[in-house]
Structure 1
Amino acid sequence: MLQDSMMASSDGRSRDLVSTIPGAGWDFGLDRHPYHEIERPFGPRYTVYNRRLMACEFDKIDTEEGYWLLRQKAAVLNTGEYPLQFEGPDAERLLDLLFTKDFTKLKPGRCGYGIPCYEDGGMITDGVVLRLANDLFWYAQADGDFYSWARSHARGMNVTISDPDIYVSQVQGPLSMKVLEAASDDGMPKPFGYFGIARVSLGGQEVVISRTGYTNELGWEFYTEPHHDAQALWHHLQIKGAPYGIGLHGLDSMHIRRIEAGILNAGSDFDRFTTPFDVGLGRFVDLEKADFIGKEALVNASRETRLFGIICPSAEPHIGAEVEVSDQPCGVVTAGAFSPFLKHGIGYALMDAPDSKEGTAVRVGCIDGEQHEGTLTSLPFYDPDAEIPRGKRVDIPERT
């Protein structure tokens, strides 16, 4: 049974995605990323994310094959992340007001994870803040309504908030750094540590890159700006990355890995009704800094998490389905997939109250329409110290 929740999706047997067809009209407000024509021959099926089209799957690229490309080689996803630009003497001041983390400590050339909240502590979205200079920031946000919120709180400040028309693409996987080293005209940028920023020449085009991603694999992201020749840039990456197996994959493939990694999705795993503490993100709330929107509410909020992983040996948990303990509904599935690496169903459960514990036996609604036995677990499912994205763990998993 599905809960009546904003997190509910389809019935688990079908879903509604966007495809490209001949004609014109009624796609107003939807943006194609610069690599749309690169993806077209593979038969992409898109979701709408920040009013941008992001490929969920491809007719000619199997989802599990895409997952293993990510785990064993180098996989590219052209994302729907939406960078906003904050520029001016008060840019730092505004961002420090908007986000729960202290961004006065973020140095130029570094990134930080940013969560904006409403006054009641409910989450708006999340994303990565890039500090390109003392008074210049990009916020590559997840899906959500943030631009108007930021504008409304910038009154009286000397800061310009704009849409620089930038698109974010990820190169992720154990061979992704070899791709970067081969593709960079000047070799591997140094320094380029975890959550670092660099400007590199890729086939003669200067491109901003960051040591970030949405997979907890080793990887980097590149930012395609209006002045770039996107076709030439992709051609260069494809040629230089060919020895390392570089290829496209869709959101469905990455979705499996992000669940394994305990990475959350804005609007489904958290929303305006959850605080960062509710979903295990309390470490990104700095209650010691002077002030930020939502601080008063978060100071008085419960510090206990309500979000857990689900281990389901016999089926794939269905987003929006009930989670039961002792035959009583007590939570909802916010994410679900089958893990080819772990070889069982995995997902997230957002519990109604913070009294559940790791190891709790549950019954979970799954995509076959039935309830299945499961167990609550802590997140992530493996690599709790994030050694893989930091490059400290370099073993490549075998496909069995």
Structure 2
Amino acid sequence: MKPLHFSPSPRTRLSPYFERTVEAGVTSVTVYNHMVLPSAYSGPRAEYDALINGVAIWDVAGERQVEITGPDAERLTQYLCTRDVSRMQPGQGRYTFICNYDGGILNDPVLLKLSDNQFWLSLADNDIGLWAQAICKEGGYDATVQEPDVSPMQVQGPKSIELIRTVFGDEIAELKYFRFVETELDGVPLVVSRTGWSGEFGYEVWLRDHSKGVWLWDRLFDAGAAHDAIPGAPNQIRRIEGGILSYGTDMDPSVNPFELGFDRIVDLETADDFVGRAALEAIKARGVERRLSGVRFAEELAGTATHLDVSVQGQVAGHLTSMAWSPRLNATLGFVMLSAAHSSPGTEVVLHTNDGDFAGVTEPIPFVEPIKT
């Protein structure tokens, strides 16, 4: 077989860290928000071990931003998001949903408030910026919606605090969960936040000048050498253990927040309207017909197959959305979207695969509590 050639273009951009990821031995990539995203270096197990015991550094520049600025920035951001934006302070982030008018999930970004007139939506994989621009124009908001020059890296794992302390000092290392600061390093503008997609203690470092990607990579890895930092990628094993959902896999526009058990992420008590509010109020009032649940299998199953049928008492009751083998729990863990009547913990299910049928038992999400402090 001839080698496969990949041609970067404006439709599939390279991250500012791409050169260093290749030198570091990246073995697999995907495309996320039109940007090449590393998905493996030494392999999921080795990267998992580093993540739960040491520190891993990820190129997640594909986590693109939508920036909303201007006099109506807060009003527009509120109308887009299911969280109460009015209670946020500058330097605070929140996990939120962006829904369509039927209450279906379009994206599940982290929302950052930089100032009263400046917000970032740190996106999952889709073109939600176009949606935001349309809402802004149609609603007559005095605001600007654009993609800023921001390219995040994640520094994740129990030793991440010492790496960040070495580079940025004590004050930034001691940031509280979902808090962030705007800062500079060697004159280069950055944001550092206590966030991440790992379920472990960690940070994100948001580069605000793409021309400095190699510089930032080198600074972080130079500081990480004393802590045996390795390059890595978003880890399927740890994110499932920690109950972290993946847009496009565990949710999409056919899914609403209540089916995921994320009632707390929908602020129906706020006086402000937001896209999908009326539909979500109706869904909450009548209840959902299906729910996402955790599931555990004793066998080690391949983790790439999703949307396989799941049966309860001989009848198809839902489907699998994600799964991975957990070394520390010695089991295959996954998420299943089941009919509400069968979603309670302790339900015996059967997963139907090309390799046969496998018995499992549902349980609450998460399997391992995320480490926040």
TM over 0.5: yes
1:172 paired residue number: 156
Using the TM superposition, give the Cα deviation of residue 369 of structure 1 relative to its aligned residue in structure 2, in angstroms.
2.2
Q: Among residues 336, 358, 373, which one is paired with 1:372 in the alignment?
A: 358
2:298 paired residue number: 313
Q: Among residues 359, 367, 382, which one is paired with 2:368 in the alignment?
A: 382
- Amino acid across the alignment from 1:223: W
Is the 2:151–2:210 Cα contact (8 Å) retained in structure 1? no
**Over residues 41-79 of structure 1, what are the superposed CA-to-partner deviations in whole Å (9 max), with x where a residue is unaligned?**
303311111111111113xx1220000110011111212
Q: Among residues 174, 192, 195, which one is paired with 1:209 in the alignment?
A: 192
Distance in 2 between residues matched to 1:72 and 1:95, nearest whole Å? 38
Instruction: Report SS of the residue matched to 1:130.
Output: strand
1:134 to 1:191, Cα distance in 2 relative to 1, 3 A: farther
1:190 to 1:66, Cα distance in 2 relative to 1, 3 A: closer
Using the TM superposition, give the Cα deviation of residue 187 of structure 1 relative to its aligned residue in structure 2, in angstroms.
3.8
1:243 to 1:190, Cα distance in 2 relative to 1, 3 A: closer
1:188 matched to 2:166? The reply is: no
Distance in 2 between residues matched to 1:26 and 1:177, nearest whole Å? 35
- Amino acid across the alignment from 1:349: V
- Amino acid across the alignment from 1:66: E
Distance in 2 between residues matched to 1:364 and 1:49, nearest whole Å? 29
1:44 paired residue number: 27
- Amino acid across the alignment from 1:71: I
- Between stretches 226-235 and 161-170, larger displacement belongs to 226-235
**Over residues 96-144 of structure 1, what are the superposed CA-to-partner deviations in whole Å (9 max), with x where a residue is unaligned?**
1111111111110110112111111111011111111111111101012
Is the 1:202–1:236 Cα contact (8 Å) retained in structure 2? no
Distance in 2 between residues matched to 1:190 and 1:38, nearest whole Å? 25
Distance in 2 between residues matched to 1:270 and 1:145, nearest whole Å? 16
Using the TM superposition, give the Cα deviation of residue 88 of structure 1 relative to its aligned residue in structure 2, in angstroms.
0.6
Instruction: Report SS of the residue matched to 1:188.
Output: helix
- Amino acid across the alignment from 1:261: G
2:74 paired residue number: 92
1:344 paired residue number: 331
1:334 matched to 2:316? The reply is: no
- Amino acid across the alignment from 1:263: I
Distance in 1 between residues matched to 2:186 and 2:237, nearest whole Å? 32
Using the TM superposition, give the Cα deviation of residue 315 of structure 1 relative to its aligned residue in structure 2, in angstroms.
3.0
Distance in 2 between residues matched to 1:283 and 1:179, nearest whole Å? 33
**Over residues 136-167 of structure 1, what are the superposed CA-to-partner deviations in whole Å (9 max), with x where a residue is unaligned?**
11110101231121111112111001111322
Distance in 2 between residues matched to 1:356 and 1:180, nearest whole Å? 41
Using the TM superposition, give the Cα deviation of residue 349 of structure 1 relative to its aligned residue in structure 2, in angstroms.
0.2
Identity %: 32
1:282 matched to 2:263? The reply is: yes
1:235 matched to 2:218? The reply is: yes
**Over residues 201-252 of structure 1, what are the superposed CA-to-partner deviations in whole Å (9 max), with x where a residue is unaligned?**
445533211111111210000112236522122111111111112111123x
Q: Among residues 121, 135, 154, which one is paired with 1:153 in the alignment?
A: 135
Distance in 2 between residues matched to 1:240 and 1:146, nearest whole Å? 35
Distance in 2 between residues matched to 1:188 and 1:182, nearest whole Å? 11
1:218 matched to 2:201? The reply is: yes
Q: Which runs of 5+ in 1 are unaligned?
A: 1-18, 392-400
1:123 paired residue number: 105
Higher helix share: 2
- How many residue pairs get aligned? The number is 361
Distance in 1 between residues matched to 2:316 and 2:74, nearest whole Å? 44
Q: Among residues 12, 17, 32, which one is paired with 2:14 in the alignment?
A: 32
Instruction: Report SS of the residue matched to 1:229.
Output: helix
Is the 1:205–1:233 Cα contact (8 Å) retained in structure 2? no
Distance in 1 between residues matched to 2:257 and 2:33, nearest whole Å? 21
Using the TM superposition, give the Cα deviation of residue 320 of structure 1 relative to its aligned residue in structure 2, in angstroms.
1.6
Q: Which runs of 5+ in 2 are unaligned?
A: none
- Amino acid across the alignment from 1:314: E
1:113 matched to 2:102? The reply is: no
- Between stretches 304-313 and 106-115, larger displacement belongs to 304-313
- Amino acid across the alignment from 1:57: A
- Amino acid across the alignment from 2:262: L
- Between stretches 143-152 and 330-339, larger displacement belongs to 143-152
Distance in 2 between residues matched to 1:187 and 1:203, nearest whole Å? 17
Using the TM superposition, give the Cα deviation of residue 330 of structure 1 relative to its aligned residue in structure 2, in angstroms.
0.9
Instruction: Report SS of the residue matched to 1:189.
Output: helix
1:204 to 1:26, Cα distance in 2 relative to 1, 3 A: closer
Distance in 1 between residues matched to 2:192 and 2:183, nearest whole Å? 7
Distance in 2 between residues matched to 1:128 and 1:193, nearest whole Å? 15
Instruction: Report SS of the residue matched to 1:272.
Output: coil
TM-score, scaled relative to structure 2? 0.92
Is the 2:16–2:211 Cα contact (8 Å) retained in structure 1? no
- Between stretches 312-321 and 120-129, larger displacement belongs to 312-321
